[in-house]
Amino acid sequence: MEKTHNPSNVSGKIGYALLYLVLGIIAVFQVYPLIWLVLFSLKSNREVFNASPFALPAEPRWENYVNAWTQGNIGLYFFNSVWITIVSVVLTVILASLVTFAITRMVWKLNKLVLGLFMIGLMIPVHSTLIPLFSFFLSINLIDNPLAIILTYTAFNLPLTIMILLGFYYTLPREVEEAAVIDGCSIHRIFFQITLPMTMPVISTTGIINMIYNWNEFVFINTFIRSDHYRTLTVGIQSFIGQYATDWGAIGATLVISILPILIAFFILSNKIVEGIAAGAVKG
- Determine the pLDDT at residue 284: 43
- pLDDT at 5 exceeding the cut of 60: no
User: Of 157-171, 236-250, 263-277, which one has max mean pLDDT?
Assistant: 157-171
HEC per residue, 199-218: CHHHHHHHHHHHHHHHHHCC
Q: Are 161 and 204 in contact (CB under 8 A)?
A: no
Q: Using pLDDT thresholds of 50, 70 and 90, give the confidence band for residue 208.
A: confident
How large is the angle between the packed helices 146-169 and 248-281, nearest 10 degrees? 30
Q: Using pLDDT thresholds of 50, 70 and 90, give the confidence band for residue 4.
A: low
Distance from C-alpha of 209 to C-alpha of 202, rounded to nearest angstrom = 11
- Determine the pLDDT at residue 1: 47
Distance from C-alpha of 38 to C-alpha of 40, rounded to nearest angstrom = 5
Condensed to tens digits (0 to 9), the pLDDT of residues 174-204 reads 888 888 888 888 888 888 888 888 888 888 8
Percent of the chain with pLDDT over 70: 89
Q: Are 236 and 74 in contact (CB under 8 A)?
A: yes
Condensed to tens digits (0 to 9), the pLDDT of residues 135-164 reads 999 999 999 999 999 999 999 999 999 998
Q: Are 149 and 220 in contact (CB under 8 A)?
A: yes
Condensed to tens digits (0 to 9), the pLDDT of residues 53-103 reads 778 888 888 888 888 887 777 888 889 999 999 999 999 999 999 999 999
- pLDDT at 242 exceeding the cut of 70: no
Q: Is 84 helix (H, G, I), strand (E, B) or coil?
A: helix
